[in-house]
Chains A and B, each alone.
Chain A
Amino acid sequence: DSHIQYERVGADVTMKCGSMDWDAAVTWTANGTDIDESHLNGSYLILKNVDLSQSGQYSCYEGSSWHLKYQTSLRVGTPPKEPLLMCRSNNYPKGFYCSWHLPTPTYIPNSFNISVIHGTKDMVCEKDTIPKNRCHIRYLQLFSTVKYKVTLTVTNALGKNFTTLTFDEFAIVKPDPPESVVAKPVPNNPRRLEVSWQNPSSWPDPESFPLKFFLRYRPLILDQWQHVELSDGTSHTITDAYAGKEYIIQVAAKDNDIGTWSDWSVAVHATPWTEEPKHLTTEAQITETTSASTSSFMAPPTTKICDKGAVVGSGAMAVCWTAGLVVAAYSVLFI
């Protein structure tokens, strides 16, 4: 029959060949490979200072007949370290969830047991199937003065460990980040970006438990974020964007009154609206082409700029030419 054997990393392991006598002639194999006699003490297999690589199937065969006398699966691992536990209410006021994990792997199976005590009452934390290592609790009462005490115990074949969290109902409220964040340029407004988002879908009652939001944005080329806090509404127009620059924008949410800020939402990118790029030509070429009929130049844009400025008169040409130069110079700078 088959066994499983758990041993600690660094331990010395002695395997007996079932009921065989110490002086019987046996052969041991590890994962099908013969083990050298130097590891044997009579019919016992001695493994000193085992490491993870020595995990595997060990079999013992009677010397001459090659009958399988004993088989065991050796699993080398460690006892559990103190687990990391986190509890959070992202669906206030419905309840909260706790999730946990081990800081370092044990390499052998672990079982977790979670207990939740509220004052004198024991509460049941229902384990989630997905993700594993998570359970959830429904609040029976709201606005409680009594703290919740959550104890997580982790046990495996080599030992056990535990950790405890104690908290007030309000302290663990942390919504999920806002969803569907969208940032769009605003036509004919080179310094604006329109941002909109939605309440996280896990937040069950935004009417009675409204969220407030924190928006941060910066052009990709700068490190400094700008921040805006918004006490209501799920949209905001940025009015001080640098023209033509691509922006990165994120939003976070928080219950209006209690708890902490959510993580930042997925980042969105947007660039403010810019005018159609123009082909810039000098004034000299314009005066040439106005008489030339075979010219392939497009209508010179500098005349458009002058039109906007509504400059009329003999001085206009000189002004237009200067304006054209300035625009050209700026364009070169920003390319």
Chain B
Amino acid sequence: SPTGDSWGIFTFLCAALCNLPALPALNCSEELGAGQSIQQTYDLTRYLEHQLRTLAGTYLNYLGPPFNEPDFNPPRLARAERVPSATVDLDLWRGLTDNARLAANYRAYSRLLCYLRVLDGQVGTAELRHRLAHFCASLQGLVLSIGGVMSSLGYPLPAGPAGPSAPPGAPAAPNDFLKKMDDFWLLKELQTWLWRSAKDFNRLKKKVPPAVVTLRLEARGF
């Protein structure tokens, strides 16, 4: 809905303004209740999910058929899993501790961000590069936001960007078609993670009280 979009953009801008200055070493002392930053992170995932819809549409069209066909449903090829999948057993997901839940999100988006940045370096059209760059910036904000929540709750950040710095352990695709397949699945995983994160943060919202706690948001060496 249009009102939803404006809200999402507004929230993201706020989040960005709060978080991005933390990139260069900055002690941004904000009064962020843990509950408030969870809400912020939740709103960010919604905004990103919306942004991704447009980005994915453009990118899949760039890849061309069959990738941009709505009922394209390829089998998962037996290539090394590049990104931790959002797919999880229902009871396992329910039983995740807050720390584990947040860490899973943090790790996933950190890696997804890396892969997307690689994509950014490769794509052909200026429009796509622009969209990708914008999306990466937003995704960066999300990673920072999740990091902020973890810190405010006293959880250690997962050893970061573990293993794959750029492009990760998985072997490079042997041909153009398989490369496109990889891109297709990357976008699919990203989309699924954003859907899952909305649910993850819903659960966290209920469990963490919205009490206001004063924190110092410190740079985390990104």
Q: What are the residues of chain A within 8 A of B49 when measuring CB–CB?
A: 257
Q: What are the residues of chain B within 8 A of A120 when measuring CB–CB?
A: 75
- Chain B residue at smallest Cβ distance from A149: B73
Q: B220 at the A/B interface (Cβ < 8 Å)? A: no
Q: What are the residues of chain B within 8 A of A147 when measuring CB–CB?
A: 73
Contact flags B61-104 to A (C-beta < 8 A → 1, else 0) = 00000000001010110000000011111100110000000000
CA distance A142 to B1 in the complex (A): 26
In contact, B88 and A209 (Cβ under 8 angstroms) = no
CA distance A157 to B203 in the complex (A): 53
The A/B interface has a contact count, at CB < 8 Å, of: 63
Q: A38 at the A/B interface (Cβ < 8 Å)? A: no
The count of chain A contact residues (Cβ–Cβ below 8 Å) is: 23
CA distance A140 to B87 in the complex (A): 10
In contact, B206 and A207 (Cβ under 8 angstroms) = yes
In contact, A166 and B195 (Cβ under 8 angstroms) = no
Q: Given A93-B90, A119-B75, A140-B89, decide whether A145 and B192 contact each other with a Cβ distance below 8 A.
A: yes
Q: A287 at the A/B interface (Cβ < 8 Å)? A: no
Q: B179 at the A/B interface (Cβ < 8 Å)? A: no
In contact, A144 and B89 (Cβ under 8 angstroms) = no
B211 CB to nearest A CB, Å: 19
In contact, A145 and B87 (Cβ under 8 angstroms) = yes
- Other-chain residue from A119, A142, A149 in contact with B88 (beta carbon distance below 8 A): A142
CA distance A142 to B86 in the complex (A): 8
Within 55-96 of A, Cβ neighbours of B (below 8 Å) are at: 93
Q: B6 at the A/B interface (Cβ < 8 Å)? A: no
Q: What are the residues of chain B within 8 A of A257 when measuring CB–CB?
A: 46, 49, 195, 198-199, 202
In contact, A146 and B76 (Cβ under 8 angstroms) = yes
- Other-chain residue from B86, B89, B93, B203 in contact with A145 (beta carbon distance below 8 A): B86
Q: What are the residues of chain A within 8 A of B188 when measuring CB–CB?
A: 145
Q: A208 at the A/B interface (Cβ < 8 Å)? A: yes
- Chain A residue at smallest Cβ distance from B86: A143
In contact, A145 and B202 (Cβ under 8 angstroms) = no
Q: What are the residues of chain B within 8 A of A244 when measuring CB–CB?
A: none
- Chain B residue at smallest Cβ distance from A138: B90
- Other-chain residue from A143, A166, A207 in contact with B87 (beta carbon distance below 8 A): A143
Q: What are the residues of chain A within 8 A of B196 when measuring CB–CB?
A: 142-143
User: Which among A141, A145, A146 has the highest number of chain B CB atoms within 10 Å?
Assistant: A145
Q: What are the residues of chain A within 8 A of B195 when measuring CB–CB?
A: 143, 170, 257-258
Q: A139 at the A/B interface (Cβ < 8 Å)? A: yes
CA distance A264 to B193 in the complex (A): 30
Within 81-131 of A, Cβ neighbours of B (below 8 Å) are at: 93, 119-120
Q: Given A119-B75, A119-B76, A149-B73, decide whether A144 and B90 contact each other with a Cβ distance below 8 A.
A: no
In contact, A141 and B71 (Cβ under 8 angstroms) = no
Contact flags B28-70 to A (C-beta < 8 A → 1, else 0) = 0000000000000000001001000000000000000000000
In contact, B199 and A141 (Cβ under 8 angstroms) = no
CA distance A147 to B192 in the complex (A): 12
Q: What are the residues of chain B within 8 A of A256 when measuring CB–CB?
A: 198, 202
CA distance A143 to B196 in the complex (A): 6
Q: What are the residues of chain A within 8 A of B89 when measuring CB–CB?
A: 140-142
Within 199-233 of A, Cβ neighbours of B (below 8 Å) are at: 207-210, 229
CA distance A143 to B195 in the complex (A): 8
Q: What are the residues of chain A within 8 A of B203 when measuring CB–CB?
A: 207-208
Q: What are the residues of chain A within 8 A of B73 when measuring CB–CB?
A: 146-147, 149, 166
Q: What are the residues of chain A within 8 A of B185 when measuring CB–CB?
A: 145
Within 128-174 of A, Cβ neighbours of B (below 8 Å) are at: 139-147, 149, 166, 170
CA distance A144 to B90 in the complex (A): 11
In contact, B46 and A141 (Cβ under 8 angstroms) = no
B106 CB to nearest A CB, Å: 16
- Other-chain residue from A139, A149, A210 in contact with B90 (beta carbon distance below 8 A): A139
Q: What are the residues of chain A within 8 A of B202 when measuring CB–CB?
A: 208-210, 256-257
Contact flags B174-204 to A (C-beta < 8 A → 1, else 0) = 0000000000010011001101101100110
CA distance A139 to B49 in the complex (A): 23
Lowest 4 CB-CB distances: which A-B pairs, in order?
A257-B198, A143-B196, A143-B86, A147-B73
Chain B residues in contact with chain A, CB under 8 A? 1, 46, 49, 71, 73, 75-76, 85-90, 93-94, 185, 188-189, 192-193, 195-196, 198-199, 202-203, 206
Q: A141-B89, A166-B71 are in contact. List 13 more A-B contacts (CB 8 A).
A: A139-B90, A142-B89, A143-B87, A143-B195, A143-B196, A143-B199, A144-B192, A145-B192, A209-B199, A209-B202, A257-B198, A257-B202, A258-B198
